[in-house]
Structure 1
Amino acid sequence: MHDDRVRAVVRSYRERVRVVGVELFGKSSTYDWVVTEDAGFEKITLFPEQDFTSNSILKTASAILKLCRQVGAQHIFFCNYEKPEIFLAALLLRLSGKKTYMMANSKYDDKTRSLFKEVAKSLFLTPYLGGISNEARSADYMRFLGIDPRKIASPYNTLSLSEIRRLSAVEPAPAGPLFTDRHFTIVARFVPEKNLPMAIEAYARYCQTTSTPRKLQICGSGNLEPMLRACVSELGLDDKVVFRGFLQRDGVAQALGQSLALILPSIDETFGNVVIEAQAMGLPVLLSETCGARDTLVRSGVNGFVFEPDNPEGLAFFMGLLDRDEALWRRMCGSASAYAEKGDVDRFAEAIMTLVPVS
């Protein structure tokens, strides 16, 4: 995802400034992504064979500082502001006269907040002159934590729409596969915050309303897989629910290219990048109100539906609507494609250039 964003920034600056993408670690303990060999820009990986859990704070911070000196960086944008090594590196760079910015998508309503923790967190933002966030709830939270509102640009969560469409190998909906041949799709890690048991219950309710239910494809992996498979069996859905496993980017694009709609039922979801992937393929999105993507990308009744994360009956109702009403689905597909432009990487590049303009 960050590769998409850095490539867009490189294109926007048109070689007027040097843009370097820095990957701290070559491995992830959370995702099974395959690393791309050619990123298409100047990319440096500090620790190719390690992940965030394997280094000391000082070692990581020192490597960041050394690299910034080597490349002559003047403006540095950081993810993971909450990690001590990032805070230390950003603080020392700021004290040395560099301009540092944060990139984050957290919202105040992501979890229960306490005054003590919020004050402590605000201290982690002291090195930053400004930040890249998402509009509405995320930008409000960044302001709440003390970032100058005049130095907050949006959006942060963006992807390359053209690359998603290329990888899908089909035209975005309503073109592509026939309406009658499409299925519902979930793309998520198998962890509690993704709320997948509720989505399976909603799907079971939807199946009770029709003699020919569409299949549900669940793309992802995680520790909850045995429990989710047991839930599917208990509800008698073994012939209707397909577990696809963890898919790489091309696999996700291809699955969405065959889909009727994306379902994202999360209890806790700072944004939900898969919403951009779905909209790139012209799909309506059924997502919970906690997802940050709803702030700018989803309008209920226009290009999808928003529901409460504890409301399987409501989700089942929306699934039934899209299943039965092709005219409604086609209208929503058109709106989904229009809103997708808000999540394209060119918008991220524009946000960067707002903070670091060049003549």
Structure 2
Amino acid sequence: MVLFLVNRIGPYHHDRFEYLVGKIDFVVIEICGRDKTYKWDAIDCTNDYKSVTLFDNESYGLFSLAKKLTKYFFQFRPSHVFIPGWAKSYSLISLLLGKLFASKCIVMSDSTKGDKRRFFALEALKKSILKFFDGALVAGTRQIEYLKLLGFKKEVYTGYDVVNNTVFKNSGKNFQGDFIFIGRFIDEKNIILMLEAFLVYTKKIEFPRKLILVGDGHLRSAIEEFIKINGLTELVILKGFLQRDDIVEQLSISHSLILPSISETWGLVVNEALASFLPVIVSDKCGCCLDLVQGNGYLVDPKSKFDIVDKLLEFHNLSEEQYELMCQKSKLLSEQWSLEKYLSSVKHLSS
């Protein structure tokens, strides 16, 4: 039996696990049923695959965590354990238990060298921890590069960060649509600089597209103030946090996605945009940029307001033929990064 560890089962995890049903024998341990980061609706997966939830929320002690994990390792006795990362307490405890139960331990990671500041001592510690893993399931190219930098020499497969492409509405006919940003309203997403760039764009174009902002977070008040002070209330639309079904609808009527993050391990919203056949403007700091931006949009320097302005103008001035060609390239890329890729990698690593 294969055991998957996850902090919380969200819609993306659920889709991946559903796709594994009937193809491998597995069980999922969810650490907590609710967290402070995401407002996802609770997912009832009891009729889809076997899973257990250890705690209602993130308020749990280390001893209780170790005790419950040990209980389920005894119960399931997994041949393989897929463990998210190497930094969380549940990851390290699961790695230790995996070794004690002679399970093959697979690290799942979307970390890159540049997604945050790195320190020599911590990097040395990671190298030591990674020696105990037997393989890795990572997001893409930059994640492979980072594992190599950390001295990881075991087998590595990609496809950790994929979405259920079939959920998304992919007409590829949104030439008259608006720009859209989807993400948490936090500093790393670079939203204020994006708004500054959008403001410049609106002054250069007689009939500018609107910018739809989907998400919520501690920067909401600052974003609302910027919109009001700069007279953008008719052009920047705040949709708040949306569940996945509503995001699907919003993408289906959008022209293109903008993700200007200054730090982003991967960027699943780019997968969603590609599954909706949308062109994309993506920060060159995003972990997905080498894999998911290939002729279907532009990379942008997230620290340069005027680079973002230039890319907005280029998108605005695309001919309909150029736009549809980018849509088709997004379609082709989305097919390469699918649940089937995830399944194939899991099968290789658990064989």
Residue 110 of structure 2 is aligned to residue 105 of structure 1: yes
2:281 matched to which residue of 1? 286
Q: Displaced runs of 4+ in structure 1, greater than 3 A?
A: none
1:187 matched to which residue of 2? 182
Q: Percent identity?
A: 28
Gaps of 5+ in 2: 1-11
Residue 166 of structure 2 is aligned to residue 173 of structure 1: no
Q: Is the 8 A contact 2:14 2:45 kept in 1?
A: no
Q: Is the 8 A contact 1:129 1:148 kept in 2?
A: no
TM-score, normalised on structure 1? 0.90
Match of 1:342 among 336, 341, 344: 336
Q: State the one-letter code of the partner of 1:156.
A: Y
Match of 2:161 among 138, 150, 157: 157
Measured in 2, the distance between the counterparts of 1:221 and 1:62 equals 36
> CA 1:257/1:48 → structure 2, altered by over 3 Å: closer, same or farther?
farther
Measured in 2, the distance between the counterparts of 1:210 and 1:85 equals 51
Match of 1:297 among 292, 311, 318: 292
Counterparts of 1:247-326 in structure 2, within 5 Å, are 247-299=242-294, 302-325=295-318, 326=320
Q: Is the 8 A contact 1:185 1:219 kept in 2?
A: yes
SS at match of 1:38: coil
SS at match of 1:354: helix
> CA 1:154/1:265 → structure 2, altered by over 3 Å: closer, same or farther?
same
Match of 1:10 among 16, 21, 46: 21
Residue 94 of structure 2 is aligned to residue 89 of structure 1: yes
TM-score, normalised on structure 2? 0.92
> CA 1:324/1:256 → structure 2, altered by over 3 Å: closer, same or farther?
same
Match of 2:64 among 46, 59, 62: 59
Q: State the one-letter code of the partner of 2:165.
A: L
Measured in 2, the distance between the counterparts of 1:235 and 1:132 equals 45
* CA offsets 1:78-118 (integer angstroms, 9 cap, x no match): 11421123202211221321111110110011122221110
> CA 1:147/1:61 → structure 2, altered by over 3 Å: closer, same or farther?
farther
The count of aligned residue pairs is 339
Residue 219 of structure 2 is aligned to residue 224 of structure 1: yes
Q: Is the 8 A contact 1:184 1:260 kept in 2?
A: yes
Measured in 1, the distance between the counterparts of 2:194 and 2:52 equals 38
Greater mean deviation of Cα atoms: 233-242 or 259-268: 233-242
* CA offsets 1:52-93 (integer angstroms, 9 cap, x no match): xx1112321322222132123211101142112320221122
Displacement, 1:40?
5.6
Measured in 2, the distance between the counterparts of 1:31 and 1:214 equals 29
1:33 matched to which residue of 2? 40
* CA offsets 1:98-141 (integer angstroms, 9 cap, x no match): 11111011001112222111012223324311110133210121
Backbone CA RMSD of aligned residues: 1.6
Q: Is the 8 A contact 2:296 2:326 kept in 1?
A: yes
SS at match of 2:26: coil
* CA offsets 1:163-222 (integer angstroms, 9 cap, x no match): 233xxxxx4313xx5x22x11100010110000011101111111121111111100000
Displacement, 1:2?
1.2
> CA 1:32/1:253 → structure 2, altered by over 3 Å: closer, same or farther?
same
Q: State the one-letter code of the partner of 2:208.
A: P
SS at match of 1:339: helix
SS at match of 1:110: coil
SS at match of 1:109: coil
SS at match of 1:21: strand
Q: Is the 8 A contact 2:159 2:341 kept in 1?
A: yes
* CA offsets 1:254-291 (integer angstroms, 9 cap, x no match): 11111000000000000000000000000001011000
Q: Is the 8 A contact 2:32 2:57 kept in 1?
A: yes
Gaps of 5+ in 1: 166-170
Measured in 2, the distance between the counterparts of 1:319 and 1:255 equals 19
